[in-house]
Amino acid sequence: MALFSFSFSSFCLTIFVIYSSLSLSAESRVSPIAPISSLISKTLFDSIFLHKDDNACPARNFYTYESFVEATSSFPAFGSTGCSATRKREVAAFLAQISHETTGGWATAPDGPYAWGLCFKEEVSPQSDYCDSSNKEWPCYPGKSYKGRGPIQLSWNYNYGPAGKALGFDGLKNPDIVSNNSVIAFKTALWFWMTEQKPKPSCHNVMVGNYVPTASDRAANRTLGFGLVTNIINGGLECGVPDDARVNDRIGYFQRYAKLFNVDTGPNLDCAYQKSF
């Protein structure tokens, strides 16, 4: 009996870690089993985002379950790669990261600080227009701001441009669509999650174990796990700093959501000792 006392979740985690040493393509392990709704029902979605539609949240009624499901249909590898636990863990990690980016929670908030994801749809009081004028491939359009918008808080012209090209809208001339169209908003977050931007791997490949660290990654202690996803998203500001409050907030969301999905979080939750890309 003791020989078989491990959980299926732990077994999948073992497979998840083994995958990280292989160079298989994501496509070779995409499961056609089920759409995202088989992993996360509307009931579960609503229990994750308990307060997103409160009057206190500026994004009230914007981030709907239906918009999320529709957006995922454009990214069939999301939540369908690997075994059941790996798929659930990826979805939990994605929802945790977008929750931190859009949080309305605070330490003593009702139901706790990690019940307040998706409260905002655009950055409050941006410090600049996020235009990198040195980027000639994706030149800024006069009068437009590329501040954080949507679940991942898409920022900078060099992200709006390629996101729009990939998703079928003009991200440079019409960045406001990300905070006006909920399906497009979710799609931009999923685009960022699924897209490799070298030297960074994609968040997706990290969470499904498809990430193969380079010599530079190993030297920088960029190890497989949720902490590496944080590094991809905002490592320049948050990683390499022990006990960073922003990193801890991301982890708190992930731990809560992993429990709701009934999976473990996997290894290396923080990026305290990782160098940023």
Catalytic positions are 101
Omega cis (within 30) before 199: yes
Q: Residue 54 gets which letter from DSSP?
A: S
For residues 117-137, b (16+ Cβ closer than 10 Å) or e, as one string?
Answer: bbbbbbbeeeeeebbeeeeee
Sign of the alpha-carbon torsion through 61, 62, 66, 69: negative
Axis-axis angle for helices 84-101, 245-261 (nearest 10): 140
Task: State how far the alpha carbon of 221 is from the alpha carbons of 51, 238, 244, 262, 267, in Å.
Answer: 37, 15, 17, 29, 13
String of DSSP letters for 118-132 = T--SB-SS-SS----
Beta bridge partners of 197: 200
Residue 125 tokens, joined: 């009081």
DSSP lists the bridge partners of residue 200 as 197
Q: Classify the phi-psi angles of 118: left when phi > 0, otherwise alpha if psi is within -120 to 50, otherwise beta.
A: left
